[in-house]
Structure 1
C-alpha cells in the first residue's frame, strides 16, 4: 500500500469503497468532481470507509494514482488523519452510528468535519421557533393520544402524521376529516412497501391507528399546496457553503406528487420536474412560482443553522408554497439525494464542497 505523508488532505468518508482491496479502482463521478475542484485549492482528496478502519493514527483509503488526473484510476494508500473531513455516509447508517468513531476522532484531534449531526424533525421545529423563524414551519405537535389527534383534525381538517426520524416518505400518512365525521387515512409507503394504503375509519377506530404506530410521530397541519395540472407540488431547495463560508444556492428541484399522492418522494410515486418546466406549466394556469421567496426562506434557515452548528455545509429543504402564496419549510434533509440534481447543479455542488473544505481547514 502506497504511503502519502504530505499535503493538505480532504478526507471523504463513504461506504462506496471496494471491500476486496483491489489495486486499481475508479470511484463514482461526484467524488471525482470533488477531487478536481479540490486541486484548485491545493488540496488532495482521499476516500475511505469509516467503518473499516483498524486504527486511526493511519487510515486506509483510496487516492488518485495521478493527483493531477483524478478522473483516472485510484489506488490504496496509507495516510495520516485528514485535515478536513466530508462525512458522506448514507443517512440510515449515520443515524445508527456508523460514523460515530470517526466523529469522535475528529473532535479529539480538532479536525473540522462537515456535516455535523443536525436536529431531527421535532427538534427542528423547536430550533426554528427559538430562531424567530416560526413563521416558516407549519403548526406541528407531537402525537400523544387519539383524542389529541381528533382535536387536531377538528381544528385543521387535514393533518399529516409522520415519524419524527423517518425518511423517504415511509409511514407518512395524510388524514382528512370528512363531512360525515369519518376520517380518511392514506399513505404512499407504509412499513417500507411502495404501495398506496387507504382506510376510512370512525373516531373509535382512530385509536387503533395510533396504537399501530411505532416510535415517535408528529402531527402537522395539512397545507393547501400549490398545484399544477391538479397535482401537489413541493420544492427541494439545496444549499451549500462556499470557499468563504457563505451559503450558495445549488438548485431548486420541483417534485410533483402522484394524483392524490401523499408525498412527493420519487420512490413513493412522485415525479421530478425542472423549475423551468414547472414555471411554464404554472404560467399557463395563471400561477406564479415564488422562486425568490423560496430561496430567501431557505437561506434564512441555513444561516440560522450555521450560527448554531459551525461546520454545517450542506442542507436540502423540502419547501412548500400554499395556495395563498405563503412559503413553508416542511422538513430538512441533512443529506439531500444528489440524484435529484442535474449536471450543472452537481458541478456547482462539488466546487462548493471543495471550497468549503478549504475554508474550514484554514479558519
Structure 2
C-alpha cells in the first residue's frame, strides 16, 4: 500500500481573491499561503486553507481553498471539500483568536488526536512566571501584577522609569510610561490608547497617579521596571526576533528586525509611530554613535526561550520576541508574541517563515503516523495541547 499523502490544513479567515498576475487574472490567497503550498508540495504533501467555521466535524470534512495544480501554487486556487487534515496550523488573526474564533476547532482537533500547532501561548503575566521557573529569569525585568496600587507606586518610586501595560494587549495599545520626577510628581506618557493613536504627555501628583492606576485594575495590567534601552539619536531601539520550527522539528531564527521609537516614544510599534529598520541600516546608525548591537546575544536569547517554551507547550511553532538591550549590552525580554505579524519582515524572511511553517506541519504529521520519532512532541488526543 502506498504511504499516506499528508494533508496540511491552515486555519485562517483569509480567502482566495481575484488578482491580475502578469496580465492574466487568477484567484488565489495572499502570497504567504502560496509559498506555504509550494513548500508543502516539495515535501510530498498537500495543503488546504480553511475558515475554522467551515469544518464539518460530524462528517469529517472541511471546505476550503487549494491550488488547482500543486505544481502551480502561484496560479489559480479552487474551492474544494476535503477530509479532515492530518495536522492543523492555526493562523487566525490574533484579535479573532482572542475572541474565541478557534476554540471549537482546538477542542475537536484534540479529541481526534490531530496535531494543532501555533496554539495560544500564556499571557504576559504567565510568561513572566514561566521564564523565571524555566531558569530564564536573567532575561526578565522586575515585574509585578497591578493589584495593590500603593505597592505599585512604591515600585515606581524605586525604579524611576516604569511601564504599565495590559496583560492581554497588543500593538502597543494602552502602554503607559511613568517617570518618577521626585517631590511626588510623575510624568505620564501614552502613545496609543484603545481608541487608536492618541498621544498623552502629562505631569501629575501622587494622588492623581493612584487614581489612574486604580482605574487600570479593572483589567489585569503589569507594572514593569523600565530598561535603559540602547538609544540612537534620542530614539530608543528594541528588536523583534522571530523564531520558528521547521521540518527537522528544531527552532530557527527567521529574522531580527530593529524598531526605533519616535523621539520620546513610549513604544516602538509601527502603528504608534515607531519605525522599522534593517539590521544593516541600524548597524550604520549605531556605528556613527559609537553604539554596539549585541546581535549574537539577541538570537541566543530568543532560541533559548523558544526551546524552553516548547518544553512547556509542545505545539509551539512560531514566536515573536520583543527584546531590548540595555546600554551595557545585556539582553531583556520585553514581550512574547504568539502570532507575530509578517508585515515587519522583509521578503526573504517571509519566505523563510512560509518554508518553516510548512516544514513543521509535515514534521508533526510524520511524528503522528510514526514515520519519525520525537519525544518532545506528543500526539495522543490527551496531550495535543499543553498549557503552562
Q: TM-score range by the shorter chain?
A: over 0.9
1:107-126 maps to which residues of 2 (within 5 A)?
Answer: 107-126=110-129
Does the 8 Å contact 2:17/2:28 carry over to 1? no
Alignment correspondent of 1:224: 228
Is there any run of 5+ residues in structure 1 with no aligned partner, and where?
Answer: 1-5
**Aligned partners of 1:112 and 1:328: how far apart in 2?**
32
In structure 2, the residue corresponding to 1:168 is in which secondary structure? coil
Is there any run of 5+ residues in structure 2 with no aligned partner, and where?
Answer: 19-25, 368-388
Alignment correspondent of 2:9: 11
Residue deviations 1:36-69 (CA, integer Å, cap 9, x gap): 1111110111010002445451111111111111
| TM-score, structure 1 as length reference | 0.95
Asked whether 1:149 is paired with 2:152, we answer yes
**Aligned partners of 2:353 and 2:307: how far apart in 1?**
18
**Aligned partners of 2:212 and 2:281: how far apart in 1?**
39
Count of residues in Structure 1 that have an aligned counterpart in Structure 2: 355
Alignment correspondent of 1:360: 364
Does the 8 Å contact 2:16/2:28 carry over to 1? no
**Aligned partners of 1:143 and 1:198: how far apart in 2?**
22
Alignment correspondent of 1:322: 326
**Aligned partners of 2:171 and 2:201: how far apart in 1?**
19
**Aligned partners of 1:50 and 1:134: how far apart in 2?**
37
**Deviation >6 Å, runs of 4+:** none
**Aligned partners of 2:147 and 2:311: how far apart in 1?**
32
Residue deviations 1:91-139 (CA, integer Å, cap 9, x gap): 1111121001111111111111111221110000000011011001101
Structure 1 residue 176 displacement after superposition: 0.3
1:295 pairs, out of 294, 299, 305, with 299
**Aligned partners of 1:79 and 1:354: how far apart in 2?**
18
Asked whether 1:93 is paired with 2:96, we answer yes
Does the 8 Å contact 1:318/1:332 carry over to 2? yes
Does the 8 Å contact 2:319/2:336 carry over to 1? yes
In structure 1, the residue corresponding to 2:328 is in which secondary structure? coil
1:1-363 maps to which residues of 2 (within 5 A)?
Answer: 7-17=5-15, 25-55=27-57, 57-213=60-216, 214-363=218-367
Aligned-residue Cα RMSD (Å) equals: 1.5
Structure 1 residue 284 displacement after superposition: 1.3
Does the 8 Å contact 1:230/1:259 carry over to 2? yes
**Aligned partners of 1:191 and 1:357: how far apart in 2?**
35
Structure 1 residue 19 displacement after superposition: 10
In structure 2, the residue corresponding to 1:252 is in which secondary structure? strand
**Aligned partners of 2:203 and 2:83: how far apart in 1?**
60
**Aligned partners of 1:192 and 1:253: how far apart in 2?**
27
Which is further off, 212-221 or 289-298? 212-221
| TM-score, structure 2 as length reference | 0.89
**Aligned partners of 1:92 and 1:113: how far apart in 2?**
19
